[in-house]
Amino acid sequence: MRNSIPVLLVFLALVCFISAPDVLAQVSNPSQKPQANQDQMIRDLLNEVRELRTIVQRIDTNGVRTRITLDRLRAHQEQVLSLTREIFDVREKIVEAKTRQQRLNEIIPELKKEFQAGLKPRREHDDAVAEMEGLKQREANLIERETQLTADIDAAKAALADLNNRLDVLERESIAPTENNLKPPVKKQQ
């Protein structure tokens, strides 16, 4: 697109310059007016070319900004998705830890009774108590991780919303009429 814009501008200028003698030939009074009209047409054409250049530069700049914003948007979407998966995994592990703790809460008193009755060695009871303590610590760590992930997801979603707003602004800028493209085209003088 970059190479086609200058070619387009040169082509427009050539068409205007080639058609200028035809327009001047239609004038009935070939006195001083043709030179003044031709000078005015050249100025008008130059102004239009400058306006076109400005519009093309603005479009090019908006295109670059849009591509950068879209790339960042995709990266943030992937981050939110990854964090969401991770938080689901953490929550699943919390449920597993709580379930195992409930089971151990039922087993530990039985093991204690069986140990006191001499049916089971003390080691089984002590292992169950140690596992319970480990599960409590693991649950606390998982809950802390869940809290951190929730904050990270909220921050990533806020960044995602900001990027969506930026894209909306870029879209409005590319669609909205500007002062330059509201001006009527230069009319041929007859």
Domain residues for 127?
Answer: 4-24+32-180
pLDDT tens for each residue of 113-143:
888 888 888 898 899 999 999 999 999 999 9
| 190 lies in some domain | no
* Residue 38 CB contacts under 8 Å (≥ 6 apart), including other chains: 20, 24
Q: With the CA atoms of 26, 27, 31 and 32 taken in that order, what torsion angle do they form, in degrees rounded to the nearest 10? A: -110
| 96 lies in some domain | yes
pLDDT tens for each residue of 148-170:
999 999 999 999 999 999 888 88
pLDDT tens for each residue of 61-115:
888 888 998 999 999 999 999 999 999 999 999 999 999 999 999 998 998 888 8
59 pLDDT above the threshold of 70? yes
Q: Burial letters for 65-85: b for 16+ Cβ neighbours within 10 Å, e otherwise? A: ebeebeebbeebeebbeebee
Number of domains in the chain: 1
| 188 lies in some domain | no
Judge contact between 109 and 68, C-beta under 8 A. Answer: no
| 187 lies in some domain | no
Helix locations, the chain, DSSP H: 4-25, 33-116, 122-175, 179-182
